[in-house]
Copies of this chain bind each other. A is one copy, B any other.
Amino acid sequence: MSVLKVAILGFGTVGEGVYTTIQSHAEELTAVLGKKVEVAAVLIKNKQKERNIRSEVLITSDYEEILQLPQLDLVVEAIVGKEPTFTFLQKAIKRGCHIITANKEMFANHGKELLKLADEYKVAVGFEATVGGGIPIIQTLRQLLKINRVQQVQGIVNGTSNFILTEMREKQQSFAAALKLAQENGYAEADPTNDVEGFDAFYKLMILSRIAFGEEPNWNDVEIEGITSITSELIEIAEKLGLRFKHIASASKIGSQVKGSVSPVLVSKSHPFYHVEGVENAINVHSDIVGRITLQGPGAGMFPTASAVIEDLVYVCQSRSSEANNSQTSQAASGQKKKRPNEFWLVHNLQKNYLNPLISWIDQVGEETFIINADKKDILQLANQNNPLLVYSIIDGYQSTNLNKPESLSVSL
């Protein structure tokens, strides 16, 4: 029986999960691929550390040694950061290897170049593990896109932020205390910037957008806002209104343009994200024929992510050619006009005298906290006048709980 030789770059959570799964599911892999999958090499940083790896596997900190193996079919990359991984993967492609990556930062930055290079060398690129851990979102999008025209992709794609928001709400904790707990549980890094400031979600959104729309928003036009502005007080106000803060990355096609945003928003009970708690991830796809479907599952962790990598391994080996990389079939320019999705906002730190005829006041829900109905551009103007104003979109609309008519509030103008 022929053998598929794999190198794993990095032996952290993901790398080890992939290694273990290849051993534990050897029988299934052989059944599906018609060949034996064998880990030939593991690239590590620290040669001293003790690892549970079979003795016949080359363990090295020198990538060149791996590239010089007599047979190498597939390179799985499970390191973090843009470099040296991008260089490593370029070399692997030029060596004729399929590649699979779990590295969203690198892939968001260099995915396009890698896909192009892989096309040239007739190898395939798998990147299911870059978004949503074990949730098979990339394949589902590919499947849907065969015929559906996607209008919007929305996701809770950063488990750390979702965990912190859940802890803050459920246990009335401060952001700092919830972050500390996330760090203690291994859900957040010592430096949590990438997660809590929205960068991790941004990278994932760019990857989703490329699949869903065949293109990305202009990176500089995407507002990236993390969860650090959210206080226990705001969470409590939202809870009283039947709303919850969720950190949502969203990309939509409006006319021929793709727009993106990464920010905390408020969702109501009827939204499928309302109940996505802790480190779970969820992704919503709105498309023209099927409507809205939601996928929910573990967004990270050793085995969920390993599962995504192994599914890529099967996909990449079965398709074998560059056609695996076609992130999108030629989507006809859809040109549907979208309704403005967000019209209601929760604004905090606002005095009533900062009023504006373009803004409808719906409810006063705290001393300086209001629900308003307005265009985004008018809100931005307000924000400029009145810093530090906090503004959160309420998605899926808002049902006033206040008996005062909206008019009675805006009359005071």
Render A295-334 as a binary contact track against B, CB cut-off 8 A, 1 for contact.
1111001011011101100100000000000000111100
**Known contacts A31-B329, A140-B140, A147-B32; A297 and B290 CB within 8 A of each other:** yes
A147-206 interface with B by 8 A CB criterion: 147-149
* Cβ A139 vs Cβ B147 within 8 A: no
Most chain B beta-carbon contacts within 10 A, residue among A32, A297, A303, A306: A297
In the complex, chain B residues whose CB is within 8 Å of the CB of A303: 289-291
Of the candidate stretches A84-92, A266-274, A378-386, the one touching chain B is A266-274
**Known contacts A28-B331, A146-B314; A291 and B296 CB within 8 A of each other:** no
**Known contacts A27-B332, A28-B332, A297-B292; A274 and B275 CB within 8 A of each other:** yes
* Cβ A329 vs Cβ B32 within 8 A: yes
Contact of A275 among B21, B27, B135, B275 (CB under 8 A): B275
* Cβ B143 vs Cβ A139 within 8 A: yes
* Cβ A304 vs Cβ B290 within 8 A: yes
Tell me the count of chain A residues lying within 8 A, CB to CB, of chain B.
Answer: 48
* Cβ B311 vs Cβ A143 within 8 A: yes
Output the nearest chain B residue to A148 by Cβ-Cβ distance. Answer: B307
* Cβ B25 vs Cβ A314 within 8 A: no
CA–CA, A25 to B144, complex, Å? 13
In the complex, chain B residues whose CB is within 8 Å of the CB of A32: 146-147, 329
Q: Does A136 contact B (CB under 8 A)?
A: yes
* Cβ B304 vs Cβ A289 within 8 A: yes
In the complex, chain B residues whose CB is within 8 Å of the CB of A1: none
Most chain B beta-carbon contacts within 10 A, residue among A274, A293, A332: A293
Contact of A310 among B147, B292, B293, B329 (CB under 8 A): B147
CA–CA, A137 to B135, complex, Å? 13
**Known contacts A136-B140, A270-B277; A310 and B289 CB within 8 A of each other:** yes
CA–CA, A268 to B178, complex, Å? 24
* Cβ A134 vs Cβ B296 within 8 A: no
CA–CA, A291 to B290, complex, Å? 26
In the complex, chain B residues whose CB is within 8 Å of the CB of A228: none
Q: Does A40 contact B (CB under 8 A)?
A: no
* Cβ B295 vs Cβ A291 within 8 A: no
* Cβ A147 vs Cβ B275 within 8 A: no
* Cβ A147 vs Cβ B307 within 8 A: yes
Output the nearest chain B residue to A22 by Cβ-Cβ distance. Answer: B147
Q: Does A29 contact B (CB under 8 A)?
A: yes
Output the nearest chain B residue to A294 by Cβ-Cβ distance. Answer: B296
**Known contacts A147-B314, A329-B32; A306 and B289 CB within 8 A of each other:** yes
In the complex, chain B residues whose CB is within 8 Å of the CB of A147: 21, 25, 28-29, 32, 307, 310-311, 314
**Known contacts A32-B146, A330-B31; A296 and B272 CB within 8 A of each other:** yes
A-B contact pairs, 15 of them (CB 8 A): A21-B147, A25-B289, A27-B332, A28-B147, A29-B147, A135-B293, A136-B143, A139-B143, A148-B307, A270-B277, A287-B307, A291-B298, A291-B304, A294-B294, A294-B296
* In the A-B complex, the 10 residue pairs with the closest CB atoms: A293-B297, A134-B290, A290-B307, A289-B307, A294-B296, A275-B275, A146-B314, A31-B330, A27-B332, A291-B298
Measured CB to CB, the residues of A under 8 A from B are: 21, 25, 27-29, 31-32, 134-136, 139-140, 143-144, 146-149, 269-270, 272, 274-275, 277, 287, 289-298, 301, 303-304, 306-308, 310-311, 314, 329-332
User: Known pairs A134-B289, A293-B296. 8 more at Cβ < 8 A?
Assistant: A28-B146, A28-B147, A29-B147, A136-B140, A144-B307, A272-B296, A291-B304, A293-B298
